[in-house]
Amino acid sequence: MRKKIIIGNWKMNKTSKEVKEFFEEFNKKELKTRSNTLYGLAIPACNIPFAIDKRVNKKFIVAAQDISKHLSGAFTGEISILMLKDLGVSHVIIGHSERRIYHGETDQDVNTKAKIALEHGVIPIICVGETLEQYESKQSKKIVEKQIKDCVKDLDLSKIVIAYEPVWAIGTGKTATNEYAQVMCNHIRKLTSDDTLIQYGGSVTPETINDLLKQPDVDGALVGGASLKVDSFIKLIEK
């Protein structure tokens, strides 16, 4: 049986003090987490050491939000997989729609970065998803199919996570229906493998996650806004 994986994406939020406070509060709670479920947070790179230091449960995933296409060298502002691996990161989000929209990342960039992550034993969480315009013109399946084919080229499909995130649902409060999430995740399943973990992302909340996770091809969630507060994050990962 495939595991579930729930990852909070903090994007560019929280200072080191706020990260420490989050974990101090989180560590005090007695958790009844969902069975067979991995969980964790993707944290801005500069604050990863504080999260690693503060997490009590070593199985709590601390993920990065991006990596460079390069391993080292004259790439000002970039952060290499070697540096993140060294800090203790086990997963990295690649190709989030905000990276694609604001930083021009392409499917080829995503594929290169995912390969580098895997080569260094870090699991890439590869984001795909259609825009509102593509959704409204009923091109979602075609768009996502092209993204998947290009992004996962030559990757070990049993070692990656795909996050299906319709761009129109990210940070908008407009979540996809469970049926729609299932149809799209099933489409991705057919293009990948039975072993690939496929998350849905887009305005997931503690109120919507349970029914979402009942969908047979939805193996978890990538959650932005609802992962920022301790209580809300705990509700996402508790059964």
Residue with token string 């996962």: 152
The answer to whether residue 9 forms part of the interface with ligand PEP (CB under 6 A) is yes
Pick one of 170, 188, 209, 213: the residue that binds ligand PEP (CB under 6 A).
170
Report the DSSP beta bridge partners of residue 33.
Answer: 238
8 Å CB contact between 104 and 233: no
The answer to whether residue 217 forms part of the interface with ligand PEP (CB under 6 A) is no
The residue number with the shortest CB distance to ligand PEP is 224
The answer to whether residue 44 forms part of the interface with ligand PEP (CB under 6 A) is no
Only one of the segments 33-41, 114-122, 134-142, 217-225 lies at the binding site for ligand PEP (rule: CB under 6 A); that segment is 217-225
Which among 96, 105, 130, 187 is annotated as catalytic? 96
Rounded to the nearest whole angstrom, what is the least distance from the CB of residue 201 to ligand PEP in the complex?
4
The answer to whether residue 192 forms part of the interface with ligand PEP (CB under 6 A) is no
The answer to whether residue 225 forms part of the interface with ligand PEP (CB under 6 A) is yes
Q: In what helix (H) or strand (E) does residue 190 lie, and over which residues does it extend?
A: helix 178-191
| Residue closer to ligand PEP, measured from CB, 45 or 71 | 45
Rounded to the nearest whole angstrom, what is the least distance from the CB of residue 39 to ligand PEP in the complex?
15
For residues 184 and 138, what is the distance between their CA atoms, to the nearest angstrom? 12
The answer to whether residue 204 forms part of the interface with ligand PEP (CB under 6 A) is yes
How many residues contact ligand PEP, by CB under 6 A? 14
Rounded to the nearest whole angstrom, what is the least distance from the CB of residue 223 to ligand PEP in the complex?
5
For the question of residue 96 being annotated catalytic, the response is yes
Residue 199, helix vs strand vs coil: strand
The answer to whether residue 161 forms part of the interface with ligand PEP (CB under 6 A) is no
8 Å CB contact between 161 and 199: yes
Tokens describing residue 119: 């080569």
β-strands 4-9, 220-223: how paired?
A: parallel
DSSP string for 104-160: ---HHHHHHHHHHHHHTT-EEEEEE---HHHHHTT-HHHHHHHHHHHHSTT--TTS-
Only one of the segments 32-40, 143-151, 210-218, 223-231 lies at the binding site for ligand PEP (rule: CB under 6 A); that segment is 223-231
For residues 140 and 123, what is the distance between their CA atoms, to the nearest angstrom? 26
Only one of the segments 62-70, 101-109, 181-189, 200-208 lies at the binding site for ligand PEP (rule: CB under 6 A); that segment is 200-208
Residue with token string 């594929």: 111
Tokens describing residue 137: 């013109």
**CB-based contacts of 139: which residues, under 8 Å, 6+ apart?**
130
Rounded to the nearest whole angstrom, what is the least distance from the CB of residue 212 to ligand PEP in the complex?
12
For the question of residue 165 being annotated catalytic, the response is yes
Which residues are identified as catalytic?
96, 165
Q: What is the contact surface with ligand PEP in residues (CB under 6 A)?
A: 9, 11, 165, 170-171, 201-204, 222-226
